[in-house]
Structures are given as C-alpha cells and as structure tokens.
Amino acid sequence: MAFLAGSVAWAAAKPVVTVAADGPAQFKTVQAAVDSATESGLVIRIAPGTYREKLHIAQNGIELLGTGKKPEDVVLTYDDSAKSAGGTGKSGSVNVSGDDFKAENLTIQNDWEKKNARLSEGAQAVALMLTGDREVLRHVRLLGYQDTLYAASKTCHGASDQTAAEASGQPCHASRQLFEDCYIEGHVDYIFGDAKAVFNRCELHGMAHSIVTITAQSKLYPLEDSGYLFLHCIITGDAAVDKLSFGRPWRPYSKVYFVDTVVKGSELDPPGWMEWAGKLATSDYAEYNTRNADGTPVKVDKRIPPSHQLTAAEAEKLTVASWLTGPDGWNPDK
C-alpha cells in the first residue's frame, strides 16, 4: 500500500523496534516499547493483533506503525470511562503529550460503551487524547462513542497564556495536529478540544444516538490560535441517528470550518450547528460546498446564525499548509 512507503522514510532517521503480542519481536506490549525510547525518538512497528493496554506517550518523536495489510489489523484498545477513570481527560485508551508524534495504519479504540450500559453521567470515553504539537495521523481508525477524539493542546488554555497574549497583542499558538485519510466515529461531541487541527479526506461516522454532534471545539479567547478545519471529508451515520449536526461550542470562541463536505447516508439537521449555553454568538462556524452523495447541494437556508457560508475565494485559502504551518514553518509531509 502506498501509505506504508512513506513510513520507511520515518524509520531511516530513528531507531526501530518491533512489538508482537504473539510471535518474535523485541516487545510484547506497546507501552514497553514506548518506555524504551530515548531522546532521539523511536519508530515502533506493531504486528497484527489486539493490544489491550492503556498507553501514555510523553516522549517526543514516537511513531506507531501498524504492519498489517489494513488499519483494522492492529487495534490499540482499552475500556475506561470518565466515571471509572475519574474524569474525561483520564479515560483515554491512548494518551499522547509528546511532540512530533506519528501514527499510521492502525486502530485506536475505547470500547467502554460497547461493553457497558450507557450512564447518564460519566459516559465520556476517549479513544485518543492528543495534546502535543506537530502530530500526524494517517490511515488511522478512531473508534468510540461519546468524546472519541480529544484533539487538544498543552498551551493556551491557562489564565497566564491568555494574559500574556492580551498583553502582547500576539496570538497564543495551540498544538497543531493533522488527521489525514482517517476514519473517526462517535456520537456526542466526538471530536473535541482546543487543538489547531486539520482533518483532510476523513470519514466522520455518527454512531446510533438521538443527538450526534461531530465537534465541540474549545477556543477560549480571541487571541488563542486554535480551531478545526475539515477538508474534503465524508459524513456518514448509522440508520438510528436522529439529529446530526456539525457541532456545538464547548468554549465561547469555538472555531470550526467544513470545506467540500459530502453527506452520505445521513442528513444534517437544517440548523447545521447547536447552541451550548449561549456561546454560539461568539463562535466562528462556517462551511463551503456541502453536498449530498449525488453531488447536489445541501440546503443551507435554515442554518443557525451566526454560522455562515464561505465564499469560493475564502475557501480556496483554507489548506493544510495555511492552517498548520505556524511561526516555525512546520511541514507535516517532512
């Protein structure tokens, strides 16, 4: 497969170790391999299988590469919830705070709701919590229900960060993350947090639930440089999905753009977005060229204000590079 070829370049620059639950390898668990990493980073080649372990990756430059024929062949999974773990941020199956993390050709899952009756409180169950900068995931499946992907930042949400930004008049730059050719599923707020993230050519799948909100972005103040950009994505959903929306604002300056989106097998709720405690008024929600699977435009005449439609000229400027380059000129393809 073409995407595996790109991983060879990663391996050439760093030490490489192997993991297999059964069979010959240097490690039997992914965490043991992670713990062996030095400051030079590490490429971890993971053999097909299911690895039920709660991963914590604080080191910089860790790269996880599934060596199966498809992402379904390597599954990293656990089953904590906000109630069982003592908070949403503690429930993640895979937790990455190190910078320059990469993952490719594997699945990250939280199967708590699959195995347990849903709770009225504490049902949040994160598959991946990502707070590091310059993170890249390609051909990765993220499976869960409520709060599947916590795409967040180590910077900018503290009071001191806001004070510094306002005093200098310069933005606080949130962690940057790229999700490319990924599959992400869930129902309530299943992509949430305050990263500056791009989702390029991803499938966003709503799991059966009365209300499905794809995003709950959490930009806290105007000078926080964060937000989610969805480019060329497909939105799908289970037949039992009742009300499907682009998202709702977790924080007052929530920022989410959808560009060239195809809605397939489900219908977006006409307002497009949902209110959350009055924060919609200061949020920045926009879309461009949202269409059905047959190519016809999705009706947008009932979209809730202040969400708006981008012009063609505005949409053309929204690219992976324009969103993620940042002050250091980061290129996620290198």
* pLDDT tens-digit readout, 78-121: 999 999 999 999 999 999 999 999 999 999 999 999 999 888 78
How high does pLDDT run on average in the chain? 95
153 pLDDT more than 80? yes
Rounded CA separation 289/234 (Å): 12
Residue type, 96: V
**pLDDT, average across residues 57-65:** 98
Task: Determine how many CB atoms are found less than 10 A away from the CB of residue 306.
Answer: 13
- Domains recognised in the chain with CATH numbers: 2-324 (2.160.20.10)
Whole-angstrom Cα distance, residue 225 to residue 182?
24
Sorted by sequence, the CB contacts under 8 Å of residue 266 that are 6+ apart come out as: 206, 235, 236, 237, 241, 244
pLDDT digits (tens, 9 = 90+) for 190-219: 999 999 999 999 999 999 999 999 999 999
Q: What is the CA radius of gyration of the chain?
A: 19
Question: What is the distance between the alpha carbons of residues 107 and 73, in angstroms, rounded to a whole number?
Answer: 8
Concatenating the DSSP letter of every residue in 113-166 gives HHHSPPPSSS----SEEE--SSEEEEEEEEE-STT-EEE--SSS-SHHHHHHHH
Which bin fits 96, alpha (ψ -120 to 50), beta or left (φ > 0)?
beta
- Cα distances from 102 to residues 8, 89, 257, in angstroms, run 13, 21, 24
pTM of the model: 0.95
Q: Could you tell me how many residues make up the chain?
A: 334
The pLDDT value recorded for residue 11 is: 45
Burial of 282 (0-12, 13-18, 19+ CB in 10 A): middle
Q: Residue 242: helix, strand or coil by DSSP?
A: coil
Task: Please determine, for residue 77, whether its predicted confidence score (pLDDT) is greater than 70.
Answer: yes
Among the listed residues 259, 303, 304, the one whose alpha carbon sits nearest the alpha carbon of residue 279: 304
pLDDT over 80 at 122, yes or no: yes
Task: State the Cα angle at 112 between 66 and 62, rounded to 5°.
Answer: 30
Confidence tier at 260 by pLDDT (50, 70, 90): very high
Percent of the chain whose pLDDT exceeds 70? 96
Q: Residue 4 — pLDDT band, cuts 50, 70, 90? A: very low
Structure tokens belonging to residue 296: 């016809």
Banded model confidence at residue 2, pLDDT cuts 50, 70, 90: very low
Determine the pLDDT at residue 222: 97
Residue type, 201: R
pLDDT of residue 12: 54
